[in-house]
A and B are shown apart, each in its own frame.
Chain A
Amino acid sequence: MDQLFDVSLFAAALRMVAPILLAALGGAICARVGLFNVGLEGLILIGAFSAILGNYLTGSIAVAILFAMGFSLLFSLLLAYMSINLQANVIIVGIALNFLAAGLTTFALRAIFNVKGAYYDKDMKGLPKLDIPVLKDIPWLGDVLSGQSILVYAAIVIVIVLQFYLFRTVSGFRLLAAGENPVASRSLGLNVKKIQYAAVLISGALCGLAGAQLSLGNVTMFTEGMTNGRGFIALVATMLGQSNPIGVAGASMLFGFMEALSYRLQNFSVPSNITAMLPFVVTIIAMIFFKSSGYKNEAKKSSGSSR
């Protein structure tokens, strides 16, 4: 048991949490304006690929992160335009976006890198790891928390910023209002469309960061479909956390830990096909507890009046 639950498991868990958490926060902010963003998976994939592309073209980590955010933002703009301006069903647009991302990244992988399946360059640098002074010297805790990639810390900061933004600021209050009752918000002269656009774009940027952590933090390579369902797990984390940043963080931790555990169990001669199911089994169990309460209401609100 000691071997199973050792320090490196928890350090790995934190690493695994970051992409799920970043994307789930994006999902949460969309849910808060009444748009249920199922395109997270695709947006992360685009981010992951763009990060590698930026890195490949310039060799700079900063540019890689900007690439990831920029391209995911661009695709989220597509989602926003289709669902807000053209009034297309946001779930369908999200699903379409996922397929688009899968196809496009596979195609670009061949067109740009001239490889099939995966691109890997041993000279490519991953995200820098931060050693946090003082903290790193604390036994156990230091080993878990210190020495993570910058995006892991960014994710934690973003949780706090979002929590503050949504529940303390005037602008956040109006964002919540736009999701709560769009018709009433419009009658007050609030620009609901603008607020919805902002939320979708923020979620795009966050998914870009999630992708960068995936392709440059956890590993330094891109493989086709490397998101492997994380966007959907993030979606569950959004719902489980009731679209509250702190709640979402808690839910993401659970899923990240399960993912780390599933890798670890493979070292204990549990077949990898079985362990790979672990995060998804937990997801299903989580869904049973979550039932239908929140999300259906969210979906209703987006089209609803105050009647």
Chain B
Amino acid sequence: MLLEMDSITKSYGLVRANQNVNFNLRKGEVHALIGENGAGKTTLMRILYGMESPTSGQIKIDGKPVTFHDPTDAIKHKIGMVHQHFMLFPAFSIAENIVIGGEPKKGIVFDRKQAIEQTIALSEQYGMPVDPKKKVADCSLGMQQRVEILKVLYQGAETIILDEPTGVLTPLEVKELLASIKALTAKGKSFIIISHKLSEIMEVSDRITVLRDGVVTGTVNASETNEEQLSRMMVGRELIKLERSEAKIGKPVLELNDVTIVGNKTKPLLEDVQFNVHEGEIVGVAGISGNGQSELLQAISGLMPIDRGTIALQEKNITGASVKMIRESGLAHIPEDRYLWGVSKEATVSDNGIMGHLSRTSKRGMLDGKAIRTLVSGWVERFGIKTGSLHTKAQYLSGGNLQKLIVAREIAQQTPFLIAAEPTRGVDVGAMEIIHGELLKRRDEGAAILLVSSELTEIMKLSDRILVMYEGKVVGELDAATATEEQISLLMAGGKAVGQA
């Protein structure tokens, strides 16, 4: 065994994040660590990377017991970690980011020329091409991740921990990453991957360990299991198959006519976008991120002015109207970036919960504490939001739990129109099931829902109709019942529409 973690227990006060966890890694293997949000995956890896010390238990490397006090100890033992939120310096070049901490030098002078040469050598050795002089700020997220992996390799890592590596990547970048992982294991590197994307895990890993509530529920060979079994091990029960009833399409709720945003680039951000969303249907917008989806949502919700065209909500022209007016006309919005648009990190769970619900939770300009508690604690229970109390600051909730709070809040608006942008980004299967169920319930109640997601499976599962966006234009409209993944992928990549509905 390259690495063993023997009966690791980590307690925070009364909370046990890890309990007698056994985990090991063979040389050249990809071992996935999966589980729901808060199951203790990240805690276990932080222990392995020296960022936390275990309450009890032992780490062994090559059979010898070791103790890590900080990440530098872990790095010395050839363990590297790529964090979920990248640890890069945007203003520095790729080469500078890779060599930092072990810079080549002449006397006291930083030898940047050699840094560039070493970066090129490293990227050729592992088949991960980068432009060493390019600034990281100008790199795509996929490229940034490649830089992170090269940085860890430069530090001499033999074992690489990847925490949620595919969360922010486009489908193409995910493919490249998985290929890189396979190539690196062929060269003798070993990987631990934390994730809850089962399809990717099944594709790349050799063994899979499942954690639930801090306890290992099993370690299985990837070749001897399937996604259903893994889901059961993660959630601890059978997942309910989503029942979708026949769509009862009513009158149009949202009508977009030739909506165009010119922007200051050569190509318009949005070009002649035209579609309707009707009562009782979910319209999914597919597309590789950055093809106008964000602008579309901001245009509809009034956050971004449009240059041409009209937008109508509930037969009322809302072109150029204020966000407040649009919301009052019947829009609720689960925003794509939860930290930017969705919550105030400094505010409490209950304060975040009542945003947009003030008329229900106040009397004569004064907040009604009892009404607030009833409302928010109802959501906490129904969506299984893990929070210390209603007075916990939002920033201390995990991403998935925060997302559940936002979804609960926006669905509770009971508006005729709902925007759901990346509604399940970063949430685990159990929570995903709840959120998907709630969205379908709103649809069955007659709401019109516009769903934007970079997860094709989510689009296919929930939508009644699918629009595909490419370079600011709607390049295809498909009936979800007959659309295939290949068809959509082709349109997303800018290919010509085949068999349009």
A168 and B70 CA atoms in complex are apart in Å by 29
- When distances are taken between beta carbons in the complex, the residues of chain A under 8 Å from B71 are 187-189
A91 and B21 CA atoms in complex are apart in Å by 46
A187 and B91 CA atoms in complex are apart in Å by 18
The B interface is mostly helix, strand or loop, or mixed, namely loop
- Given A180-B91, A306-B86, A307-B85: A189 and B110 interface contact (C-beta under 8 Å): no
Tell me how far the C-beta of B82 lies from the nearest C-beta in chain A, rounded to whole angstroms: 11
- When distances are taken between beta carbons in the complex, the residues of chain B under 8 Å from A170 are 103, 105, 108-110
Tell me how far the C-beta of A33 lies from the nearest C-beta in chain B, rounded to whole angstroms: 13
A173 and B103 CA atoms in complex are apart in Å by 9
A176 and B96 CA atoms in complex are apart in Å by 11
A169 within 8 A of B: yes
A141 within 8 A of B: no
Specify which of B89, B100, B101, B103 lies most central, judged by the most chain A CB atoms within 10 Å of its CB.
B89
Tell me which residues from 53 to 107 in chain A have a Cβ below 8 Å from any Cβ of chain B: none
Tell me how far the C-beta of B386 lies from the nearest C-beta in chain A, rounded to whole angstroms: 21
- When distances are taken between beta carbons in the complex, the residues of chain A under 8 Å from B88 are 181, 184, 306
- When distances are taken between beta carbons in the complex, the residues of chain B under 8 Å from A177 are 89, 92, 100
Q: Are A173 and B110 in contact (CB under 8 A)?
A: yes
A307 and B144 CA atoms in complex are apart in Å by 13
* Contact indicator per residue, chain B 60-79, by CB within 8 Å of chain A (1) or not (0): 00000000001110010000
B425 within 8 A of A: no
* Contact indicator per residue, chain B 456-496, by CB within 8 Å of chain A (1) or not (0): 00000000000000000000000000000000000000000
Q: Are B96 and A173 in contact (CB under 8 A)?
A: yes
Tell me how far the C-beta of A243 lies from the nearest C-beta in chain B, rounded to whole angstroms: 12
Q: Which residue of A lies closest to B115 (CB)?
A: A173
Q: Are A187 and B108 in contact (CB under 8 A)?
A: no
Count of chain A to chain B residue pairs whose CB atoms are closer than 8 Å in the complex: 55
Q: Are A168 and B85 in contact (CB under 8 A)?
A: no
Tell me which residues from 292 to 307 in chain A have a Cβ below 8 Å from any Cβ of chain B: 305-307
A171 within 8 A of B: yes
Q: Are A180 and B90 in contact (CB under 8 A)?
A: yes
A155 within 8 A of B: no
A180 and B100 CA atoms in complex are apart in Å by 13
A254 within 8 A of B: no
Q: Are A181 and B101 in contact (CB under 8 A)?
A: no
B186 within 8 A of A: no
Can you sample 13 A-B contacts with CB below 8 Å?
A170-B105, A171-B108, A176-B92, A177-B89, A180-B92, A183-B87, A184-B86, A184-B89, A189-B70, A189-B72, A189-B75, A306-B86, A306-B87
A47 and B339 CA atoms in complex are apart in Å by 45
Tell me how far the C-beta of A299 lies from the nearest C-beta in chain B, rounded to whole angstroms: 15
Q: Are B87 and A169 in contact (CB under 8 A)?
A: no
B83 within 8 A of A: yes
- When distances are taken between beta carbons in the complex, the residues of chain B under 8 Å from A183 are 87
Tell me how far the C-beta of A294 lies from the nearest C-beta in chain B, rounded to whole angstroms: 12
Q: Which residue of A lies closest to B103 (CB)?
A: A170
- When distances are taken between beta carbons in the complex, the residues of chain B under 8 Å from A171 are 108
- When distances are taken between beta carbons in the complex, the residues of chain A under 8 Å from B83 are 187, 306
Q: Are A306 and B110 in contact (CB under 8 A)?
A: no
The contact size tier of chain B is 20 to 34
Q: Which residue of B lies closest to A178 (CB)?
A: B89
Tell me how far the C-beta of B81 lies from the nearest C-beta in chain A, rounded to whole angstroms: 8
Of the candidates B86, B100, B101, B110, the one whose C-beta lies within 8 Å of that of A169 is B110
Tell me how far the C-beta of A274 lies from the nearest C-beta in chain B, rounded to whole angstroms: 42
A190 within 8 A of B: yes
A183 and B75 CA atoms in complex are apart in Å by 17
Q: Are A168 and B109 in contact (CB under 8 A)?
A: yes
Q: Are A169 and B89 in contact (CB under 8 A)?
A: no
Tell me how far the C-beta of B72 lies from the nearest C-beta in chain A, rounded to whole angstroms: 4
Q: Are B85 and A188 in contact (CB under 8 A)?
A: no
Q: Are B85 and A306 in contact (CB under 8 A)?
A: yes
Tell me how far the C-beta of A268 lies from the nearest C-beta in chain B, rounded to whole angstroms: 47
- When distances are taken between beta carbons in the complex, the residues of chain A under 8 Å from B87 are 181, 183-184, 187-188, 306
Tell me how far the C-beta of A273 lies from the nearest C-beta in chain B, rounded to whole angstroms: 44
A143 and B105 CA atoms in complex are apart in Å by 42
7 residue pairs, one from A and one from B, having the closest CB atoms: A184-B87, A189-B72, A188-B101, A170-B110, A180-B89, A187-B87, A169-B108
Q: Which residue of B lies closest to A190 (CB)?
A: B101
Tell me how far the C-beta of B49 lies from the nearest C-beta in chain A, rounded to whole angstroms: 9
* Contact indicator per residue, chain A 151-194, by CB within 8 Å of chain B (1) or not (0): 00000000000000000111111101100110110011110000
Tell me how far the C-beta of A32 lies from the nearest C-beta in chain B, rounded to whole angstroms: 11
A90 and B75 CA atoms in complex are apart in Å by 33
Tell me how far the C-beta of A165 lies from the nearest C-beta in chain B, rounded to whole angstroms: 9
A169 and B109 CA atoms in complex are apart in Å by 4
- When distances are taken between beta carbons in the complex, the residues of chain B under 8 Å from A307 are 85, 339
A306 and B495 CA atoms in complex are apart in Å by 36
* Contact indicator per residue, chain A 283-298, by CB within 8 Å of chain B (1) or not (0): 0000000000000000
Q: Which residue of A lies closest to B89 (CB)?
A: A180
Q: Which residue of B lies closest to A165 (CB)?
A: B108
Q: Which residue of A lies closest to B51 (CB)?
A: A187
A183 and B90 CA atoms in complex are apart in Å by 13
- Given A168-B110, A173-B100, A173-B103: A181 and B70 interface contact (C-beta under 8 Å): no
Q: Which residue of A lies closest to B74 (CB)?
A: A189
Tell me which residues from 23 to 46 in chain A have a Cβ below 8 Å from any Cβ of chain B: none
Tell me how far the C-beta of A164 lies from the nearest C-beta in chain B, rounded to whole angstroms: 9
Specify which of A174, A188, A190 lies most central, judged by the most chain B CB atoms within 10 Å of its CB.
A188
Tell me how far the C-beta of A87 lies from the nearest C-beta in chain B, rounded to whole angstroms: 15
A170 and B108 CA atoms in complex are apart in Å by 6
- When distances are taken between beta carbons in the complex, the residues of chain A under 8 Å from B110 are 168-170, 172-173
A201 and B89 CA atoms in complex are apart in Å by 25
- When distances are taken between beta carbons in the complex, the residues of chain B under 8 Å from A180 are 89-92
- When distances are taken between beta carbons in the complex, the residues of chain A under 8 Å from B86 are 184, 306
Tell me how far the C-beta of B77 lies from the nearest C-beta in chain A, rounded to whole angstroms: 13
Tell me how far the C-beta of A155 lies from the nearest C-beta in chain B, rounded to whole angstroms: 23
Specify which of B75, B85, B87, B105 lies most central, judged by the most chain A CB atoms within 10 Å of its CB.
B87
- When distances are taken between beta carbons in the complex, the residues of chain A under 8 Å from B72 are 189
Tell me how far the C-beta of B335 lies from the nearest C-beta in chain A, rounded to whole angstroms: 16
A177 and B93 CA atoms in complex are apart in Å by 12
Q: Which residue of A lies closest to B86 (CB)?
A: A306
A306 and B109 CA atoms in complex are apart in Å by 27
- When distances are taken between beta carbons in the complex, the residues of chain B under 8 Å from A188 are 71, 87, 100-101
- When distances are taken between beta carbons in the complex, the residues of chain A under 8 Å from B109 are 168-170
Q: Which residue of B lies closest to A168 (CB)?
A: B109
Q: Are A305 and B100 in contact (CB under 8 A)?
A: no
Tell me how far the C-beta of A302 lies from the nearest C-beta in chain B, rounded to whole angstroms: 15
A54 and B387 CA atoms in complex are apart in Å by 60
